[in-house]
Amino acid sequence: MGDKIFVDSNILLYARDSSEPSKQPVALACLRKLWESRDGRISVQVLNEFFVNATRKLKPGLTEPEAWEAVDALMAWDPLPLDASLLERTYETCRQYRLSWWDAMIVAAADACECYSILSEDLAAGQKYHGMTVVNPFQSSLA
């Protein structure tokens, strides 16, 4: 790969979601590839969303200790922290692209990480933000 790719929380969730037998292996393969290449990027916001949704929305969900163990392991990805600079970037992204605050924060974090693309099912596949392209791994190959 050789290019930094920002991973949205939905990809992390599908990797743990046994109720999605077609999406789970795709998400797992993407994460494995990004870990091996060291091209994957995440943010503290992504980890927050993962923890909350993994413990409250997945069926069957993870226990809080299981979700925390997953978050703790993902800290090895050196997540982008939430700070004033990211908030400012989020506000500008929100205004420029007319995105929801939370989607703008994903795009702003990916931009701050100097990513080439954003891996997400929630954002529109093929859409470009700040020169980055959204890739839905369930519609196209990550490679």
- Determine, yes or no, domain membership for 81: yes
Total number of domains in the chain = 1
Cα 78 from Cα 81, distance rounded (Å): 9
- Give the containing element (helix H, strand E) for 135: strand 132-135
Domain containing residue 118: 5-135
- Determine, yes or no, domain membership for 39: yes
Residue from 142, 115, 140, 139 nearest 129 by CA: 115
Amino acid found at 26: V
Could you tell me the sign of the dihedral formed by the alpha carbons of 124, 141, 12, 90, in that order?
negative
In this structure, the strands spanning 128-129 and 117-119 are unpaired
Three-class secondary structure of residue 36 per DSSP: helix
Radius of gyration of the chain (CA): 14
CATH value at residue 17: 3.40.50.1010
Mean of the pLDDT values across residues 13-23? 93
- Determine, yes or no, domain membership for 141: no
Tell me: the pLDDT tens digits for 24-79? 999 999 999 999 999 999 999 999 999 999 999 988 889 999 999 999 999 999 99
Tokens describing residue 40: 């994957």
- Determine, yes or no, domain membership for 142: no
**Per-residue confidence band for 2, with pLDDT thresholds at 50, 70 and 90:** low
Q: What is the pLDDT of residue 120?
A: 97
Mean of the pLDDT values across residues 117-123? 96
Residue 58, number of CB atoms within 10 A of its CB = 17
Q: At residue 135, what are phi and psi to the nearest 5 degrees?
A: -120, 125
- Determine, yes or no, domain membership for 143: no
Q: Which pTM value belongs to this model?
A: 0.93
Instruction: Provide the angle, in degrees to the nearest 10, between the axes of the packed helices 44-56 and 64-74.
Output: 160
Q: What is the pLDDT of residue 129?
A: 97
Eight-class DSSP state of 41: E
Tell me: the pLDDT tens digits for 75-110? 999 999 999 999 999 999 999 999 999 999 999 999
Q: What is the pLDDT of residue 143?
A: 44
Q: What is the pLDDT of residue 100?
A: 96
